[in-house]
A and B are shown apart, each in its own frame.
Chain A
């Protein structure tokens, strides 16, 4: 069963001092830092980031209970909120004064709900009456209000990736107002309303902060709403409703994820998958919003895979007290003390751990029977290459051998992605060659993701071992190779010659020469010099290969020398001579080569003809039938004289 856990916690969690009466723990989603604040900071603040070395420790004066504490981007300025009216700042830039300074919110009678750093020196205060956007001047120890907006706020959420703040407004809290921040400006995005399952009477705040999450999936910002089941509505199960939040334009409800159960849920986004944790069953579900083709405005999705729990996790005991024989303690998963943060963070404050959630792809292979769907799923994952290749091997070999249509579907899906990459690469090259882009922004070099499985990958990891495998019928091997070539052709990808060689090797091994002949006849195996040479080498076992090879060389039109060599080796001296004349290269060929071959045939008439032909050429080119010294034809001249006498030689004076 353990192979079925497709979710796991990362091996190296961030450890911090667990929360207690003297130690408060805060998490900053923007920098992914955990703050352990002991006794209001007086006995120390330890900040641990995603990497071990970015850990920071310092002390600050205890000026009351800390409500919120965050570094600006790059740990330049620390902001601490201790009261509901103001936020305190401490410079962490060397050479700047370290004394704290304070900023009160501008709006009278408003209380600060929290704050967010936008970058190293821009901060947003969210109060119950609106938001205020400030620029911090650490050297002057002061802030400047850039912009503010009055609005009643119940609660807020911040997506650091996209720098969007979402405010919950109105009495029920279900009208959400997003703001986007960029380059020192604040822009109001269009607001939208979340459809509530029940409208309470009298009106009261019903949309909870816990049921809303923001995350970017496939590069697009979504607001996820965990819609709990209601007794009155006809859907008996909970759903996750996704609202697509574009930079411009209105927000649209685009996806509905069916959870098929009820209870307490938490959301994560891992590798563009929506992970829904269900506490009571201690399992998680994953959804891929791209798996269903959008055919209506709202897409309904079922879980990609059956529900499974996160892979069991054991807390390794560290420190000097560890006894080697002592086994690691199993960690309680789905504990109620867990806090889940976007996109992929799980924190257990009581135990002092921060994990990143990860998707393990190998177990998915056996859980998803539909190979086409599996490929769609895998191709969108980050570390998919080896898994995809192993799936390919799996459908070709062994007990789980797929049928040809399945193989074809898988190949088509792989090559679709491969082709898209090649096209992007090509248009990039074209853009680069045509000089610095005119007007449009410089094109980025396309990134080659792991999903790009090219011919050499297929060849090395899948096809070459598959063709050599014993016990696979050669019919199937050839069918698979042809299917791959067909798929490449369908996407207009140039097929590499080593694939053709694999086909030829397999056909020759099983004496299927006539099949090979037919493939070549229809140019299924594209022309190339290596292939022509391979064919020449087959001539002894299959004579027609000679003709096929010559045809191929002819079509290449760059292989005239090779053709001459082939013909001369077959003692077809006249044929070679006629060929070289027909392509107009007669003037440049080495006469010695031809005379050698003609003499070898021991056909005197042939020798005479070839000799005279070259004399005529010399006459035409240089006005003299004699051979140049550089042509090294002396012995042939002597031979000619021996055979036919001096008078048979063409004389310069006679013309």
Chain B
């Protein structure tokens, strides 16, 4: 998660600009300007978490000096006087740190409770240093390095630095950067001698693992992940023993993460080659810096799993008639606003219709569901039971609003800038404005050629046309959905959990994940089981034929993987005393109830 997912980039910029002059920083004004004062407690907590660089749960005085830089990289450092004022305002227990810990008391004074309006106790966060000394400490997989290079940019000795297009973390000393990049280059070259078309994809070491990816000719992306580690304290003041769990990391999962990094970059910036063509390596370096600086913060490597390998799309189940209504809506909007080239329709963060091609939709879907929607999530307005036709209060005739572009159409200062995305066409790429418009749980994405300038008129027209229709549709879908659920009977907590994926249409379905976003990935099963799923997936990838794998996990769970044609199904059964035959029967039954309308061999 990045700060800008909670606070608007514009507001932050304003706030920082306001206190540009030395010793002009006033925290009250700053919080107000950057919009923090009007955020929910959860959001404030998230901000706090981002500011807390070492994840200690506290912001130390030393960190506070770079307070402004956490908001805007180029901002000035705070003077000692300023940090002290800030600390004294927030630090009620005079320990020299600002905390957001679980006591109401502390929390009420942090940052001055009135301004932030934090009303619920924040989650207790204990930094590793705070934990009692005798316990084992667990470190999850985390990002060590991430870099992009092109060997052809600095082929001669002494020019090696030119190869490096992006390096994270940027503080690393230049020679080390060059060394690391050179090593990767060497490994790739070396492995090429064995198989020229398939050079190494990853390098396993005890402490970390490196992933190599060549998305475009001669452009390499490398991600270095630190292996999960357990630190066992030793008596007698000896340094603790570190046990690296290199087996915990799956090549497929993190390989997919690197690829996704590229796809996401490409979605918003086009290919690397395009930037080089337009403005040479300098432009590409700028773009990479701008994009990855934020993007890498949103990578949560510890919660990556099988779903990242699939990169699937969750489709919203819908009856034919409602689906046709949506079709009709999309067609009408595209007809009356002829600028619109493509439309995508989502409900409840699940896809219903995509006018984009599959691969573009896959990455756009990822962006929408893991980044854009969570940023704008708010308690959904009522609508399930209350019919919200004309008697909506005041002049609010519908619930439609822009998620990208102007937040308030009536604001005379509103800017009509929309993010631009790149999608593939038959002959290359096209650049599009991305308009995301949402009414209740229904979201419509409209894509318009970037060569057209979008005006206030157009946005107002779109708002007037789409708003009421989308509001109506959303309540229709909701109604239909509840009707369908009622028909299918009350949901019983099933004995099994499953992940389903179809390579053909990228449809995925998971009852293991409650909700998957970039920041939180709530799985309801133990990571060990997820690891088994990943292993089974690797096995499947190796052969083309249909197969079935049944595993009994250490924790007495049964894990079943099935592959039929292009479909994969992973089931986790919680039946300790079941035998192989019973498990097989159970899975058959599951297939018959959940997947009776597809051709799925058993």
Query: Taking beta carbons and an 8 Å cutoff, which residues of A are in contact with B?
Result: 403-405, 408, 475-476, 478-479, 482-483, 485-486, 489-490, 514-515, 517-518, 521-524, 544, 547-548, 550-551, 553-555, 563, 575, 578-579, 582
Closest 9 A-B residue pairs measured CB to CB?
A: A479-B331, A486-B324, A550-B599, A544-B504, A554-B599, A522-B323, A551-B598, A404-B332, A551-B599
Which A residues touch B327, using CB under 8 A?
A: 482, 486, 524
Residue pairs across A and B with Cβ atoms less than 8 A apart, 24 shown, are: A404-B328, A404-B331, A405-B332, A408-B328, A475-B331, A479-B334, A486-B324, A486-B327, A489-B321, A490-B321, A514-B354, A514-B358, A515-B355, A517-B505, A523-B320, A524-B320, A524-B327, A547-B504, A547-B566, A551-B597, A551-B598, A575-B601, A578-B601, A582-B602
Given the known interface contacts A476-B335, A489-B324, A544-B505, the answer about A522 and B318 at a Cβ–Cβ threshold of 8 Å is yes
Centre residue among B318, B504, B507 by max chain A CB count within 10 A? B504
The answer for the CA separation of A356 and B598 in the assembled complex, in Å, is 63
Which residue of chain A is the closest to B336 with respect to CB atoms? A403
CA distance A517 to B502 in the complex (A): 13
Whether the pair A579, B601 counts as a contact (CB closer than 8 A) is yes
Chain B residues with CB below 8 A from A579, complex form? 601
With the chains together, A479 CA to B329 CA distance in Å?
A: 10
The reply to whether the CB of B540 lies closer than 8 angstroms to some CB of chain A is: no
Query: Does A482 contact B324, Cβ atoms closer than 8 Å?
Result: yes
A555 CB contact (under 8 Å) in B334, B336, B566, B597: B597
Complex Cα distance A547/B504, Å?
8
B416 at interface (Cβ–Cβ under 8 A)?
no
Question: In the complex the two chains form, what is the Cα distance from A408 to B325 in whole Å?
Answer: 11
Q: Taking the complex as formed, is B10 at the interface, i.e. its CB lies under 8 A from any CB of chain A?
A: no
B315 at the interface (CB under 8 A from A): yes
B residues near A523, Cβ cutoff 8 Å: 320
C-alpha gap A551/B598 in the complex (Å): 5
Residue of B whose beta carbon sits closest to that of A554? B599
Inter-chain CA distance A406–B321, complex, in Å, is 19
Of all chain B residues, which has the CB nearest A523?
Answer: B320
A404–B505 contact, CB under 8 A? no
Q: Name the interface size band of chain B.
A: 20 to 34
Main secondary structure of the interface of A (DSSP, over half): helix
> B56 to nearest A CB, angstroms?
48
Identify 12 new A-B residue pairs, CB closer than 8 A, beyond the known A475-B334, A518-B354.
Answer: A403-B332, A403-B336, A404-B332, A483-B328, A486-B321, A517-B504, A518-B505, A521-B315, A521-B505, A522-B323, A575-B601, A578-B602
Chain A residues with CB under 8 A of B139:
none
Which residues of the partner chain A approach B567 to less than 8 Å between Cβ atoms? 547
Complex CA gap A217/B200 in Å reads 86
Question: Is B565 an interface residue when CB atoms closer than 8 A count as contact?
Answer: yes
Q: Mark B330-344, 1 if CB is under 8 A from A, else 0.
A: 011011100000000
B415, chain A: closest CB distance, angstroms:
30
Q: How far is the CB of B602 from chain A (nearest CB, A)?
A: 6
Chain B residues in 8 Å Cβ range of A482 = 324, 327-328, 331
Which residues of B4-47 are within 8 A (CB) of A? none
Could you say which residues of chain A place their CB within 8 Å of the CB of B354?
A: 514, 518
Give a binary string over B552-596; 1 marks a CB under 8 Å from any A CB, 0 the rest.
000000000000011100000000000000000000000000000
Taking the nearest CB of chain A, how far is it from the CB of B142, in angstroms? 37
Question: B353 on the interface (CB 8 Å rule)?
Answer: yes
| A-contacting residues, B292-339, CB 8 Å | 315, 318, 320-321, 323-325, 327-328, 331-332, 334-336
**Contact A582–B601 (Cβ < 8 Å):** yes
Q: Which residues of B contact A563 (CB under 8 A)?
A: 599
Instruction: Tell me if B357 is interfacial: C-beta within 8 Å of chain A.
Output: yes
B5 to chain A, nearest CB (A): 30
CB distance from B317 to the nearest CB of A (A): 9
A514 pairs with B357, CB closer than 8 A: yes
Q: Please, how many angstroms separate the alpha-carbon atoms of A329 and B318 in the complex?
A: 68
Which residues of B come within 8 Å of A, CB atoms? 315, 318, 320-321, 323-325, 327-328, 331-332, 334-336, 353-355, 357-358, 502, 504-505, 507, 546, 565-567, 597-599, 601-602
Q: Give the docked Cα–Cα distance between A404 and B465 (Å).
A: 14
Q: How far is the CA of A111 from the CA of B321 in the complex (A)?
A: 70
A547 and B565 contact, CB distance less than 8 A? yes
B444 nearest CB across to chain A (Å) = 15
CB distance from A553 to the nearest CB of B (A): 7
Tell me the complex Cα distance, A486–B321, Å: 7
A575 CA to B332 CA, complexed, in Å: 45
Residues of A close to B332: CB separation below 8 A:
403-405, 479
Total A-B pairs, Cβ < 8 A: 82
Distance A151 CA – B330 CA, assembled complex (angstroms): 69
Contact yes or no, B320 A522, CB < 8 A:
yes
Whole-angstrom distance from the CB of A94 to the nearest CB of chain B? Answer: 67
Contact B324 A524 (CB under 8 A): yes
Shortest CB-to-CB span from B410 to chain A, Å, is 28
Q: How far is the CA of A523 from the CA of B505 in the complex (A)?
A: 14
Q: Which residues of B contact A476 (CB under 8 A)?
A: 335
Residues of chain A contacted by B598 (CB below 8 angstroms): 551, 554
Asked if A554 meets B566 with Cβ closer than 8 Å, knowing A490-B321, A578-B602, A582-B602, the reply is no
Known contacts A555-B597, A579-B601; A489 and B331 CB within 8 A of each other: no
Cβ distance A617 to chain B, nearest Cβ, rounded Å:
19
Which B residue sits closest to A553, measured CB to CB?
Answer: B599
Q: Which residues on the A side are within 8 Å of B328 (C-beta)?
A: 404, 408, 482-483, 486
Note all chain B residues with C-beta closer than 8 A to A515: 355
> If A489-B324, A514-B358, A521-B315 touch, does A547 touch B599 (CB 8 Å cutoff)?
yes
Give the residues in chain A near B597, CB-CB below 8 Å: 551, 554-555
Kindly identify which residue among A489, A550, A551 contacts B320, using a CB–CB cutoff of 8 Å: A489
Rounded to whole angstroms, the CA-CA distance of A553 and B600 in the bound complex is 12
Q: In this complex, which of A408, A486, A521 has the most chain B Cβ atoms within 10 angstroms of its Cβ?
A: A486
**CB-CB nearest in chain A for B356:** A514
- Who on chain B is nearest to A483 by CB? B328
A517 CA to B318 CA, complexed, in Å: 15
**Cβ 8 A contact of A575, one of B321, B324, B504, B546:** B546
Q: With the chains together, A524 CA to B328 CA distance in Å?
A: 13
**Contact between A524 and B323, CB atoms less than 8 A apart:** yes
Chain A contacts for B324, CB-based, 8 A? 482, 485-486, 489-490, 524
Closest chain A CB from B69 CB (angstroms):
45
In the assembled complex, how far is the CB of residue B335 from the closest CB belonging to chain A, in whole angstroms? 5
* A334 to B110 Cα, complex, angstroms: 95
Q: Which residues of A contact B335 (CB under 8 A)?
A: 403-404, 476, 479
User: B325 touches which one: A405, A486, A544 (CB < 8 A)?
Assistant: A486
CA distance A564 to B439 in the complex (A): 47
Which of A404, A485, A523, A548: most chain B Cβ within 10 A? A404
Most buried by B among A405, A478, A518, A553: A518
Bound CA span A197–B598, Å:
74
Q: Which residue of A lies closest to B352 (CB)?
A: A522
Interface centre among B325, B328, B355, by most A CB within 10 Å? B328
Q: Which residues of B contact A524 (CB under 8 A)?
A: 320, 323-324, 327
| Minimum C-beta distance from B487 to chain A (A) | 16
- Nearest A-chain residue to B321, judged by Cβ: A489
Contact across chains for B321 and A518 when beta carbons are under 8 A apart: no
Cβ contacts under 8 Å, A554 to chain B = 597-599
Whether the Cβ atoms of A518 and B357 lie closer than 8 Å is: no
Least distance between A563 CB and chain B CB atoms (Å): 7
Q: Which B residues lie within 8 Å of A578 (CB)?
A: 601-602
Alpha-carbon distance A478/B320, docked complex (angstroms): 17
**Smallest CB gap from A517: residue in B:** B505
Inside 8 A of B602's CB, which chain A residues have their CB? 578, 582
CB distance from A584 to the nearest CB of B (A): 13
Residues in B whose Cβ lies below 8 Å from that of A483: 328, 331
Closest to B331 in A: A479
- Which residue of chain B lies nearest to A579 when distances are taken between CB atoms in the complex? B601
Report the minimum CB–CB distance from B567 to chain A (whole Å): 8
Tell me, in angstroms, the Cα distance from A478 to B505 when the chains sit together.
Answer: 21
Q: How distant is the Cα of A523 from the Cα of B318 in the complex, in angstroms?
A: 10
Question: CA A270 – CA B328 in complex, angstroms?
Answer: 39
Q: Which residues of A contact B323 (CB under 8 A)?
A: 522, 524
